[in-house]
Amino acid sequence: MAIGHGQTRVHPRWWTLIFTIVVIFAAWLVGQSFNRSFRAYVPVTLMSDRTGLVMETGAKVKMRGVQVGRVGQISGGKQPASLKLEIDPDKVALIPANVGARISATTAFGAKYVELVYPADPSTKSLTTGVVLRSENVTTEVNTVFQNLVGVIRQVDPAELNGVLSALAEGLGGQGARIGEAISGANTVLVALNARSHVIREDWRLFRFQSALIRS
Amino acid sequence: MNRVAKFRPTGFERKISQWVAGWDRIGSQIQFHVKTLTSIREVFLYYRVELIRLVAQMSMGVGALAMIGGTVAVIAILTLSTGALIAAQGFSQLGQIGVEALTGFASAYFNVRILAPLTAEFALAATIGAGATAQLGAMRINEEIDALEVIGVRAIAYLASARVLAGLVVVVPFYCVAVVMTFFAARFGTTVVYGQSSGVYDHYFHTFLSRTDLIWSFAQVSIASVVIMVIHTYYGFTASGGPAGVGEAVGRATRASVLAAVLVTVAITLAVYGQSGNFHLAG
């Protein structure tokens, strides 16, 4: 035995057991800190009609472009969806309690994040635990845009539309100066008519009166 | 006859007893590690001169090794090559999508977080660690350790704990060399060999170089160095079977310590950095 005498009070068997427990505990600790479970935060709830696609736990919560927390938990399915926001304690004092919220995306296809909108009339109280915020809106999903676009294209044959637009473009090409003149002329006419609109209205009224008289 | 046959262990029983023996062997190893770590106090009390001698021996090498600078040279060359790889791979691969300007980011990010610590740990295990196992193993098979115990020297403190402590002392300057070398090689490769403007490289490098990450990587390497030295001293201390047994102990020790060092590094990396990159990539 390399340990020497008088030091084998604990049997090696127990040391292996202790070591195993330590390793399991360390693995658990690593897993928990990987998920940031030990970080202090202020829980705030955000209610929204829907959370939007690609809204995931761990998504950023930003205010004026600065990250102030993260999305901890998303529970949806039923209307309205609710998001648990975990706000950093050191930034919570700078956020008024009546802050607005909005779910936005970084790019058209990018992941969603929660944007806190600084209110026009900030309340003197700052955000505290358990405050419930309401989301103003969720960014339009890019697939909705495409879906609507497809609906339009189904109704209008793109080839025909192209032909019509080309013909129009050909007809209008090089006519800019004349079109401009025509618009200016029309404007002059309309200005002149506007000044006489009173008289025109009077004429119409008399015309209706006359025709009613004739009919009777 | 019948009685004897009754006590002959079956295959299952033999497996169980082997398993128990393995379990106990791990236990005695853990016991030795704990004893080594708790005896560090005695090194400060009684064996300070030995500690300084070991630090000098480990850092610059003695005898033939001193000619080429010992472990420092090994670590410097290893990390130079990883840094050069960052430049070679990073510049051309990032260049394929037109963002070769971010090679500086790759250097600041990957070097600090994983490449430099791991390379330094491997170099440490292969040079200082394996050297310690060989020294202690030779002392064990020559019965020098028994002689030390007989004359009243606390063998574990004098031999094992002092080496663990010396390893911890020398790893800090070693790691400084490692980090500087990876940074230098990546910058040299990108700006001189590939001809990127040094202003662009430095801008992205300094933007993404986090001081906290750098400090954490020092902690990473320090903890890994303790693990490496503890394992290597154990295998040296318990070597048996003549010179061939010492060679076998060195092999086993290197295998175990490299594995342990990687596990420690992965665990610390996961725990410290988590899912966040600690930077904000706008877009």
Nearest CA in chain A to B236: A2
Could you tell me if A22 lies within 8 Å of chain B, comparing CB atoms? no
Query: Quick check: is A167 in a domain?
Result: yes
Instruction: Give the mean model confidence (pLDDT) for residues B114-129.
Output: 91
Could you give the residue ranges of the DSSP H alpha helices within B125-194?
A: 130-141, 144-150, 155, 162-187
Instruction: Give the mean model confidence (pLDDT) for residues B123-151.
Output: 92
Query: A82: domain range?
Result: 42-140
Check: CB of residue B157 under 8 Å from CB of residue B51: no
Could you tell me if B271 lies within 8 Å of chain A, comparing CB atoms? yes
Q: Are residues A50 and A135 in the same domain?
A: yes
Number of domains composing chain A: 3
Could you tell me if B25 lies within 8 Å of chain A, comparing CB atoms? yes
B4 pLDDT band (50/70/90 cuts)? low
The answer on pLDDT for B94 being more than 60 is: yes
Q: What is the residue whose two structure tokens read 């697939």?
A: A143
Pairing, β A112-117 against β A66-75 = unpaired
- Bond preceding residue A122 cis, omega within 30 of 0: no
Query: Quick check: is A146 in a domain?
Result: no
Q: Which residue(s) pair with A126 in the sheet?
A: A96
Q: Are residues A26 and A46 in the same domain?
A: no
State the Cα–Cα distance between residues B115 and A215, nearest whole angstrom. 100
The answer on pLDDT for B187 being more than 90 is: yes
Query: Quick check: is A210 in a domain?
Result: yes
Q: What is the pLDDT of residues A80-123, one digit of tens each?
A: 788 888 888 888 888 888 888 888 877 766 778 888 888 888 88
Query: Quick check: is A150 in a domain?
Result: no
B283 pLDDT band (50/70/90 cuts)? very low
Size (chain B), residues: 283
Check: CB of residue B214 under 8 Å from CB of residue B108: no
- Average pLDDT taken over every residue of chain B: 87
Q: Do A107 and B283 make contact, defined as CB atoms within 8 angstroms?
A: yes
Around Cβ A144, how many Cβ atoms within 10 Å? 11
DSSP state, B9? P
Choose the final residue of a domain: A140, A167, A193.
A140
Query: Quick check: is A58 in a domain?
Result: yes
**Nearest-CA distance from B225 to chain A in Å?**
18
From first CA to last CA, the distance across chain B in angstroms is: 84
Tell me which residues of chain A have a pLDDT lower than 50. 1-6
The answer on pLDDT for B229 being more than 90 is: yes
Q: Do B27 and A107 make contact, defined as CB atoms within 8 angstroms?
A: no
- Residue pairs between chains A and B whose CB atoms are closer than 8 Å: 72
- Strand residue runs (E) in chain B: none
Q: What is the pLDDT of residues B235-246, one digit of tens each?
A: 999 999 889 999
Q: Give the pLDDT of residue A147.
A: 85
The answer on pLDDT for B267 being more than 50 is: yes
Q: Give the pLDDT of residue B61.
A: 64
- Phi, psi (deg, nearest 5) at residue B235: -65, -35
Q: Give the pLDDT of residue B158.
A: 92
pTM of the model: 0.73
Q: Are residues A54 and A128 in the same domain?
A: yes
Q: Do B27 and A16 make contact, defined as CB atoms within 8 angstroms?
A: yes
Q: Do A12 and B28 make contact, defined as CB atoms within 8 angstroms?
A: yes
The answer on pLDDT for B206 being more than 50 is: yes
Size (chain A), residues: 216
Q: Are residues A22 and A77 in the same domain?
A: no
The answer on pLDDT for B271 being more than 80 is: yes
Nearest CA in chain A to B238: A2
Query: Quick check: is A145 in a domain?
Result: no
Q: Do A30 and B270 make contact, defined as CB atoms within 8 angstroms?
A: yes
Q: Are residues A24 and A53 in the same domain?
A: no
Q: Give the pLDDT of residue B69.
A: 60
Q: Give the pLDDT of residue A38.
A: 78
- Which has more confidence, A54 or B68? A54
Q: Give the pLDDT of residue A6.
A: 47
Q: Give the pLDDT of residue B278.
A: 60
Q: Are residues A124 and A162 in the same domain?
A: no
Could you tell me if B263 lies within 8 Å of chain A, comparing CB atoms? no
C-alpha distance from residue B68 to each of A128, A216, B58, B170, B173 (Å): 63, 125, 13, 17, 17
- Amino acid found at B172: V
C-alpha distance from residue B246 to each of A2, B128, B134, B136 (Å): 16, 16, 6, 9
- Which has more confidence, B223 or B69? B223
ipTM score of the complex?
0.78
Q: What is the residue whose two structure tokens read 């049997």?
A: A11
Query: Quick check: is A187 in a domain?
Result: yes
Query: Quick check: is A13 in a domain?
Result: yes
Could you tell me if B63 lies within 8 Å of chain A, comparing CB atoms? no
